Chains A and B, each alone.
Chain A
Amino acid sequence: MSKQKEDIRIGFYICHCGHNIGSVVDVPGVAEYVSKLPNVVVSKDYKYMCSDPGQEMIQKDIKEHKLNRIVVASCSPLLHESTFRGATAKAGLNQFFMQMVNIRENTSWVHEDKEQATIKAKDLARAAVHRVAFHKALEKKVVPVNPDVLIVGGGIAGISASLTLANAGKKVYLIERDATIGGYMAKFDKTFPTLDCAACILTPKMSSVLKHPNITLWTWSEVSNVDGFVGNYKVTVTKKPRYIKEELCVGCLACIDACIYKQGKFYDEFNFGLAKRKPVYIPFPQATPQVVVVDDKTCLHFKTGKCQQSCAKACDRNAFDFDQKPENVEINVGSIILTTGFEPHNPVKSPNYGYGKYPNVFTSLEVERLVNASGPTEGHVLLRDGVTKPKSIGIIHCVGSRDEKTNKWCSRVCCMYSLKLAHLLKEHTDADVYNFYIDMRTPGKGYEEFYDKLLNEGVQFIRGRVSEVTDWATTDSEKGKLVIRAEDTLIGIVRRIPVDMVVLSVGLEPAKDAQEVRKMFSISCSSEGFFLERHPKLAPVSTFTDGVFIAGACQGPKDIPDSVAQAGAAAAEVLALIDAGHVELEPNTASIVEEKCCGCQVCINMCPYTAISFNVEKGKSFINEALCKGCGTCVAACGSNAIFQNLFDDEEILSEIDGLLVE
Chain B
Amino acid sequence: MADKPKIKLAVYWGAACGGCCVSVLDVHESLFTVVEHADLVFWPIALDVKYKDVEEMPDGNIDITLFNGAVRTSENEHMAKLLRKKSKILIAYGSCAHMGGIPGLANFSNKEEIFKRVYETSESIDNPNKVFPATETEVKEGKLTLPKFYNDVMTLNQVVDVDYYLPGCPPQTERLVEVFMAVVTGATLPPKGSVIGVFDRVQCDDCKRKKSDKKGITKFYRAWEVVDDGETCLNEQGILCMGPATRGGCGVRCVEGNAPCRGCYGPMEGIPDPGAKMMSAIASMLEGKEQDEIDKAIESVVDPAGTFYRFSLPGSILRRKQK
Task: Report A's interface with B, CB cutoff 8 A.
Answer: 595-596, 598-606, 614, 633, 636-642, 650, 654
Give complex CA distance A598, B281 in Å: 13
What are 22 inter-chain pairs, A to B, with CB distance below 8 A?
A595-B200, A596-B201, A599-B205, A600-B202, A600-B204, A600-B233, A602-B213, A602-B244, A602-B281, A602-B284, A604-B213, A605-B213, A605-B215, A614-B213, A633-B284, A637-B281, A640-B204, A640-B268, A641-B271, A641-B277, A650-B271, A650-B272
| Choice from A598, A605, A654 contacting B244 with Cβ under 8 Å | A598
With an 8 A cutoff between CB atoms, is B246 at the interface? yes
Contacts of B272 in A (CB 8 A): 650, 654
Q: Any chain A CB within 8 A of the CB of B153?
A: no
- Answer whether residue B208 sits at the interface, using C-beta atoms and an 8 A cutoff: no
* Docked CA distance A598–B252 (Å): 13
Question: Is residue B27 within 8 Å, beta carbon to beta carbon, of the partner chain?
Answer: no
Asked whether B284 lies within 8 Å of A598 as measured between CB atoms, the reply is: no
> Please, how many angstroms separate the alpha-carbon atoms of A601 and B233 in the complex?
12
Q: Is there an interface contact between B205 and A601, defined as CB atoms closer than 8 Å?
A: no
Residues of A within 8 Å of B201, CB to CB, are 595-596, 598, 640
Alpha-carbon distance A642/B245, docked complex (angstroms): 10
Q: Which residue of A lies closest to B276 (CB)?
A: A636
Contact between chains at A641 and B270 (CB < 8 Å): yes
Distance, CA A641 to CA B277, complexed state (A): 9
Q: Does the CB pair A641–B205 fall under 8 Å?
A: no
Q: What is the CB-to-nearest-CB distance from B271 to chain A, in angstroms, rounded to a whole number? A: 5
Residue among A596, A599, A637, A639 making CB contact with B246, cutoff 8 Å: A639
B291 at the interface (CB under 8 A from A): no
Interface size on B, residues (CB 8 A): 29
B14 at the interface (CB under 8 A from A): no
Within the complex, the shortest CB–CB distance from A61 to chain B, in Å, comes to 34
For the complex formed, measure the closest distance between the CB of B287 and the CB atoms of chain A, giving whole angstroms.
Answer: 9
Tell me, in angstroms, the Cα distance from A636 to B277 when the chains sit together.
7
**In whole angstroms, what is the CA distance A208 to B204 when docked?**
60
Given contacts A602-B285, A650-B270, A640 and B202 within 8 Å (CB-CB): yes
Asked if B101 is at the interface of the complex by the 8 Å CB criterion, the answer is no
B residues near A605, Cβ cutoff 8 Å: 213-215, 284
Residue of B nearest to A601 (CB): B213
Shortest Cβ-Cβ A-B pairs, 8 listed: A639-B245, A637-B284, A639-B281, A639-B244, A598-B205, A601-B213, A641-B268, A604-B213
- B124 CB-CB contact with A under 8 Å: no
Chain A residues closer than 8 Å to B211, beta-carbon distance: 599-601
Q: Does B171 contact A (CB under 8 A)?
A: no
Query: B residues touching A (Cβ–Cβ < 8 Å)?
Result: 200-205, 211-215, 233, 243-246, 267-272, 277-278, 280-281, 283-285
**Complex formed: what's the CA distance from A596 to B277 in Å?**
15
The residues of A that contact B245 with a CB separation of less than 8 Å are 639-640
User: Chain A contacts of B283 at CB under 8 A?
Assistant: 637
Q: Is the CB of A603 within 8 A of B269?
A: no
CB neighbours (8 Å) of B285 from chain A are 602
CB distance from A52 to the nearest CB of B (A): 43
Min CB distance, B216 to chain A, in Å?
Answer: 8
Name the B residues within 8 Å of A595 (CB-CB).
200-201
Q: A187–B307 Cα gap in the complex (Å)? A: 63
Residues of A within 8 A of B246 (CB): 639
Q: How far is the CA of A633 from the CA of B267 in the complex (A)?
A: 19
Contacts of A636 in B (CB 8 A): 280, 284
Most buried by B among A601, A614, A639: A639
In the assembled complex, which residues on chain A have CB atoms less than 8 Å from the CB atom of B212? 601
Cα(A633)–Cα(B280), bound, Å: 9
Interface residues of B, dominant DSSP? loop
User: Which residues from chain B contact A639 at a C-beta distance below 8 Å?
Assistant: 202, 204, 243-246, 268, 277-278, 280-281
Chain B residues within 8 Å of A602, by CB: 213, 215, 244, 281, 284-285
Across-interface contacts of B203 in A (CB, < 8 A): 598
Q: Is the CB of B204 within 8 A of A599?
A: yes
What's the Cα separation between A89 and B206 when bound, in Å?
46
A596 touches B284 (CB 8 A): no
> Distance (Å) between the CB of B276 and the closest chain A CB?
9
Instruction: Collect the chain B residues with CB atoms within 8 Å of residue A614's CB.
Output: 213
Least CB distance from B201 to A in Å reads 6
Taking the closest CB of chain A, its distance from the CB of B318, in whole angstroms, is 13
A616 to chain B minimum Cβ distance, whole angstroms, is: 11
A606 / chain B contacts, CB cutoff of 8 Å: 284
* With A601-B213, A654-B272: A640-B244 Cβ-Cβ less than 8 Å: yes
**A1 CB, min distance to chain B CBs, angstroms:** 9
Which of A595, A614, A641, A654 has the most chain B CB within a 10 Å cutoff?
A: A641
A637 to B246, CA, bound (A): 13
What residues of chain B lie closer than 8 Å to A633, measured between beta carbons? 284
A654 to chain B: closest residue by CB: B272
Chain B residues contacting A637 (CB-CB under 8 Å) are: 280-281, 283-284
A642: B residues at CB distance < 8 A: 268
Contacts of B281 in A (CB 8 A): 602, 637-639
Which of A598, A600, A602 has the most CB atoms of chain B within a 10 A radius of its CB?
A: A600
Docked pose: A598 CA to B269 CA in angstroms: 14
Least CB distance from A421 to B in Å reads 43
Q: Least Cβ distance of A3 to chain B in Å?
A: 13
Residue of A598, A637, A638, A650 contacting most chain B CB atoms (<10 Å): A598
Shortest Cβ distance from A1 into B: residue: B272
Known A639-B277, A641-B277, A650-B272; further 12 A-B contacts with Cβ < 8 A = A595-B201, A601-B211, A602-B285, A636-B280, A637-B281, A639-B244, A639-B245, A639-B278, A639-B281, A640-B201, A640-B245, A641-B270
Q: Does B204 contact A598, Cβ atoms closer than 8 Å?
A: yes
Which chain B residues lie closer than 8 Å to A640 at the CB level?
201-202, 204-205, 244-245, 268
A602 to B285, CA, bound (A): 6
Name the A residues within 8 Å of B214 (CB-CB).
605
Report the nearest B residue to A603, measured CB to CB.
B284
Chain B hits for A638, CB < 8 A: 281
Tell me the bound Cα distance from A600 to B268 in angstroms.
Answer: 15
Give the docked Cα–Cα distance between A606 and B284 (Å).
Answer: 7
* Distance in angstroms between the alpha carbons of A637 and B286 in the assembled complex: 11
Instruction: Determine how close the nearest CB of chain B comes to the CB of A304; give it in whole angstroms.
Output: 39
Closest to A600 in B: B204
Q: Output the nearest chain A residue to B246 by Cβ-Cβ distance.
A: A639
Task: Find chain A residues with CB under 8 A from B202 CB.
Answer: 598, 600, 639-640
With both chains docked as a complex, state the minimum distance between the C-beta of A227 and any C-beta of chain B, in angstroms: 17
A-side contacts of B215, CB under 8 Å = 602, 605
The chain B residue sitting closest to A604, CB to CB, is: B213
Q: Which residue of A lies closest to B281 (CB)?
A: A639
Check B244 against A641 for contact (C-beta < 8 Å).
no
Contacts of A600 in B (CB 8 A): 202, 204, 211, 233, 243-244
Please, which residues of chain B bring their CB within 8 A of the CB of A603? 284
Min distance, Cβ A597 to any Cβ of chain B, angstroms: 8
How distant is the Cα of A596 from the Cα of B205 in the complex, in angstroms?
9
- Which residue of chain B is the closest to A621 with respect to CB atoms? B213
Could you say which residues of chain A place their CB within 8 Å of the CB of B269? Answer: 641
Bound CA–CA A605/B278 (angstroms):
17
CB neighbours of B280 from chain A (8 A)? 636-637, 639
**A633 to B283 CA separation, bound complex (whole angstroms):** 11
A640 to B244, CA, bound (A): 7
* Chain A residue at minimum C-beta to C-beta distance from B201: A598
Identity of the chain A residue whose Cβ is nearest the Cβ of B272 in the assembled complex: A654
- Nearest opposing residue in chain B for A602, CB measure: B284
CB distance from B98 to the nearest CB of A (A): 17
Residue of B nearest to A657 (CB): B317
A641 touches B267 (CB 8 A): yes
Q: Quick one: which of B213, B245, B267 has the most chain A CB within 10 A?
A: B213
Q: Considering the chains assembled together, what is the distance between the CA atoms of A595 and B214 in angstroms?
A: 23
User: Which residues in A have their C-beta under 8 angstroms from that of B270?
Assistant: 641, 650
Task: Select from chain B the residue with minimum beta-carbon distance to A2.
Answer: B270
Alpha-carbon separation in the docked complex, A641 to B245 (Å): 8
Taken together as a complex, chains A and B put the C-alpha atoms of A473 and B268 apart, in Å, by: 80
Closest-CB distance, A661 to chain B (whole angstroms): 11
Shortest Cβ distance from B233 into A: residue: A600
CB distance from A539 to the nearest CB of B (A): 30
Min distance, Cβ B22 to any Cβ of chain A, angstroms: 29
